[in-house]
Amino acid sequence: MSQMNIPGAQTVLDYIRRLGWRRSLVRGSYVAANQLVSLSVYGGLLLRREDINETLTEIPNGYACLFLAPDEVERFEGQLEGNAAGNLRRAVAHGDDIYVVLEGERIANIGFYAAGPTPVQDDLAIHFVPPARYMYGGYTPAAYRGSRFPRPRNSARRAGTL
């Protein structure tokens, strides 16, 4: 176990000015707790339909956005690189949702959405209540990076819950 690095008074005052008392205390507690045990804190985001700017979900001309059925996945497998290819196989094996933005038959963007408990570390899995989904991966080929493609309006629609 490493020795705890206690910040100086000026550093503490800088944190308080930037973060406020409450957030500074939370951060200090997190740092102190990590000296005793390994601790990771994950933040989450609940996005409701009323929170969405609908103009950002409009599909640009020349593109199609859809969820792939398991029997459609194979024809796109050769277009993915690195972790995306592994995520594709994982998604199919676990029955996860696969959302693609296509330009013709080319993948412009792909996202992987878990519908059930999902491991995020060797000893940690995220659980959530359906119809919620957890996006655990995505890929955009170099030619399409910087484009603002729409995300699924509601991946629960795929599961027939809406």
The per-residue pLDDT for 40 is 67
d(C-alpha 17, C-alpha 51), whole Å: 31
Q: Do the beta carbons of residue 96 and residue 113 sit within 8 Å?
A: yes
Q: List, for residues 82-140, the tens digit of each pLDDT value.
A: 888 888 888 888 889 999 999 999 999 999 998 888 887 777 788 777 777 888 888 88
> Which fold is adopted by the domain 49-157?
Aminopeptidase (3.40.630)
Q: Does position 149 have pLDDT exceeding 90, yes or no?
A: no
* Residue in the structure block whose two tokens are 């993915």: 80
- As separate numbers, helices (DSSP H) first and strands (DSSP E) second, the chain gives 2, 6
The per-residue pLDDT for 101 is 92
Q: Do the beta carbons of residue 70 and residue 77 sit within 8 Å?
A: no
**Which residues are paired to 111 by β-bridges?**
99, 138
Q: Does position 24 have pLDDT exceeding 50, yes or no?
A: yes
Q: Do the beta carbons of residue 87 and residue 137 sit within 8 Å?
A: yes
Q: List, for residues 69-87, the tens digit of each pLDDT value.
A: 988 888 888 888 888 888 8
Q: List, for residues 32-51, the tens digit of each pLDDT value.
A: 777 777 766 666 677 777 88
Task: Lowest mean pLDDT of 10-19, 55-64, 94-103, 149-158, name the range.
Answer: 149-158
* Residue in the structure block whose two tokens are 């740092």: 31
pTM as predicted: 0.62
In the chain, domain spans: 1-41, 49-157
Task: State both tokens at 69.
Answer: 């059925």
The per-residue pLDDT for 8 is 81
Q: What burial letters (b/e) apply to 54-65, b meaning 16+ CB within 10 Å?
A: eeeeeeeeebeb
- Residue by residue, DSSP assigns 35-81 as HHS-----------GGGS-GGGGPPPTT-EEEEPPGGGGGGGGGG--
* Residue in the structure block whose two tokens are 């059925």: 69
Element housing 16 (H / E) = helix 9-36
Q: Does position 162 have pLDDT exceeding 50, yes or no?
A: no
